[in-house]
Amino acid sequence: MLNRLVSRLKMRLNGLKSPALRERMYRIDVNGTPHDVQHSRFNMNWLPEAGITPTVIVDLGSFDGGDAWRMKQTFPNARVVTVEADPDRIGIVRAALAASEVEIHNFAACDQDGPVEWYTATINGETNAQGSLYQHSDAYQKRFTFVQQSEEPIKVDGKRFDTFCTEANIDKIDLLHMDIEGAELSVLRSMGAVRPKLIYLEWRENAFRGHEGTASAETLLRDMGYSLLGNLGDDRLYRHIST
């Protein structure tokens, strides 16, 4: 509780007056058809409060398209790009964003180009967002008993972040929003020359086998010139110090 209060105070001192949201489902209209989608805790008010009028937003880990949809709705003049790795989930994303101008890509953001192993995950037999490049740890399985991860991986396309930016003609990013089940560090290591003004990402310590954990990522972010604005438990918000 104390850490969260300190984090909230730090955010306010940095001009971010709006609170973090609660993750929840909400309803959107897609060509007259209602879709229930989910959004993260990221508050879109944080961008203008940070003095940023976004022109490019990248969302890694689309899930169902809910975050990319509200990004485009909130900032209609911004280029919004979303990436989903799972070959089954991508159809859900495309359906939800069919009436939007969001750019949709299907690959696993990581630190290598080419086929990579992907462990699918299901809830009640349906493919869900907990698919990962990593196998779930015992701690993860105890926390999320309702998630069933495949024991054998499939192959999906992998792509370094700098490769993706070159191919997509992205040379600057105002917000990088990541929820990619342990692959955040891999993306940071393949960032290349691009330094997003804000990075919002999910951390789950000891959640994945063979994963280095948050300490390595935090060290790398400091070395890349980022300052922690908010520690929201499983989620963190960073700002590039030159911004």
pLDDT, residue 172, reads: 97
pLDDT, residue 130, reads: 87
Mean pLDDT by 10 residues, the chain (243 residues): 72 89 95 94 97 98 96 98 96 95 97 96 86 91 92 96 98 97 93 97 84 82 94 92 75
pLDDT, residue 169, reads: 98
Buried residues in 103-131 as b, exposed as e (16+ CB within 10 A): bbbbbbbbbeeeebebbbbbeeeebbbbb
